[in-house]
Amino acid sequence: MAFPKVVKIVEVSPRDGLQNEAKIVPTAVKIEFIHLLAESGLSVIEATSFVSPKWIPQLADHKEVFQGISKNAGVSYPVLVPNLKGLQSAMDVGVKEIAIFTTPSEQFSQHNTNCSVAESLARIAEMMTVARQSQIRVRGYLSCVLGCPYEGDIAPQAVSDMAEKLIQLGCYEVSLGDTIGVGTPSKTHHMLDVVTEKTAREKLAVHFHDTYGQALANIYVALESGIQVIDSSVSGIGGCPYAKGASGNVASEDVLYMLNGMGIQTNVDLAKLIKAGQFISNYLQRPTQSKVNAAYSADFFE
């Protein structure tokens, strides 16, 4: 299959990136960060989570962040939502798009959302009814699609069944998450083969964490399989506090550099994306996890 000509990058750093930070980042920094990301031309920026502040204290300021950002025309600012309570508070501040999440792993569901997979699907069905009535767009996430920190291997067929279910429930797209970054290109290829038997590739996205350094190779394979939407996070920040051993997301700068090199259009400006990555790395006082950002920052090309 030919590579896609155009790819959409879904920037998840303000949510997936920051949720894993123990030290609270001030609301104003989060807002400035999202503004810098928007300047780079990204069309989707996941802004925050309307989850329980007891579970993710870092994103307890979700309302203030969402209300504080200037919304660029043509940019979507989805927020992660686990239940009706979160959806209601999101709607109260004018959220137009949410991301819901579940997993084929029973154990991970318990650890991450304190409920079974069946209960999580029931919560999603409830949210879908309200979202449909209120014309809220819903994106779906499936976690642990290439392995679970508690259950080990996850059957591709189980991923496929769940993806199909989320689309049937009304998600416009399902993002397949390698939450702990254990996938390899051949596993990714096989999983996508199985999932695309039932779900159109146009409705799928991939979401790789880079724990074992496989993310870019996995993304290349996903592109070869016709996937056109890639989740990533500037400077590679990210991780799920409820997934033991999970490290950062694949770095957006590295994904963009690869896509540019392949002649795939994204409408995202690399220099501006690098600036946003540097901003958050500087704030967190941590070296960037993006090789591309590190190379540019070291004036590699001068």
Sheet holding 48-49, edge to edge: 44-45, 8-11, 229-232, 204-208, 173-178, 137-142, 97-102, 79-80, 48-49
Least gap, CB of 40 to Mg ion (angstroms): 20
The answer to the question of residue 108 lying near ligand HMG (CB under 6 A) is no
Cα 65 → chain centroid: 18
Per DSSP, 195 falls in state H
Q: How far is CA 204 from CA 94, 104, 113, 177, 214, in A?
A: 26, 16, 23, 11, 19
Site for ligand HMG contains 16 (CB under 6 A):
yes
Q: Active site includes 144?
A: no
Instruction: Count interface residues toward Mg ion (CB under 5 A).
Output: 1
Site for ligand HMG (CB under 6 A): which residue of 141, 257, 279, 296? Answer: 141
Q: Is residue 101 close enough to count as binding ligand HMG by CB under 6 A? A: yes
Q: In this structure, what token pair is assigned to residue 141? A: 């996430």
Query: Counting beta carbons within 10 angstroms of the beta carbon of residue 49, is it exposed (0 to 12), middle (13 to 18) or buried (19 or more)?
Result: buried
Residue among 78, 177, 236, 248 that touches ligand HMG (CB under 6 A): 177
Looking at the Cβ atoms of 101 and 279, the one nearer to ligand HMG is 101
Query: Closest CB to ligand HMG among 114 and 265?
Result: 114
**Token digits for 210?**
């880079």
Please report, as residue ranges, which positions from 188 to 217 form the binding site for ligand HMG (by CB under 6 A): 207, 209
**Token digits of residue 243:** 């997934």
Q: How far is the CB of 217 from ligand HMG (least distance, A)?
A: 18
Structure-token match 């949720």, residue found: 19
Q: Based on the shown chain and the rule CB under 6 A, indicate whether residue 244 belongs to the binding site for ligand HMG.
A: no
Q: Does residue 77 sit in helix, strand or coil?
A: coil
- Span between the terminal Cα atoms of the chain, in Å: 38
Out of 13, 40, 48, 49, the only residue in the binding site for ligand HMG (CB under 6 A) is: 49
Output 16 or 210, the one with its CB closest to Mg ion: 16
Q: Whole-angstrom Cα distance, residue 289 to residue 281?
A: 9
Angle of helix 27-39 relative to helix 270-284, nearest 10 degrees? 160
Answer yes or no whether residue 166 interacts with ligand HMG by CB under 6 A.
no
Neighbours of 155 (CB within 10 A): 11
Instruction: Output the residue with the shortest Cβ distance to ligand HMG.
Output: 177
Mask for 9-48, x = binds Mg ion (CB under 5 A): -------x--------------------------------
Give, as ranges, the residues between 57 and 86 that touch ligand HMG (CB under 6 A).
Answer: 80, 82-83, 85-86
Q: Which of 144, 148, 171, 240 is catalytic?
A: 240
**What is the set of active-site residues?**
240
**Binding-site ranges for Mg ion (CB under 5 A):** 16
| Interface positions with ligand HMG (CB under 6 A) | 16, 19, 49-56, 80, 82-83, 85-86, 101, 112-114, 141, 143, 177, 179, 207, 209, 240, 242
